[in-house]
Amino acid sequence: MKIDVRSHRRKAGLTQDELAERAGVGQSTVAMWESQGRQPTAENAVKLARALGLTVEQLYEDEWA
C-alpha cells in the first residue's frame, strides 16, 4: 500500500513547505515522499494525516478506490 502524498497535498491546496510545517518534517522529506516514491514511517503517516485533516485510513483510500 502506498500513500499518494502529492495528490493529497494538492487536494488540500498546500505547498510542500506548508505541508512540511504542518506535519513537523522538512520540506525535503515531503519532496522525497513525492518524487522518490519513499513512504512515510508509521509515525510520520500519523503526522501527515493530521496535517491534512485526514485519518490514516483515508491516506490509503485512493489506492483502494
Nearest to 55 by CA among 1, 7, 3: 3
Give the pLDDT confidence of 22-38 residue by residue, as tens digits: 999 999 999 999 998 88
Residue-wise over 16-50: b if at least 16 C-beta within 10 A, else e? beebbebbebeeebbbbbbeeeeebeeebbeebbe
If we measure between CA atoms, which residue out of 10, 46, 35 comes closest to residue 19?
Answer: 10
Angle (CA) 26 49 6, round 5°? 60
pLDDT means over runs of 10, the chain (65 residues): 92 97 98 92 96 93 58
State the CATH architecture for 5-53: Orthogonal Bundle (1.10)
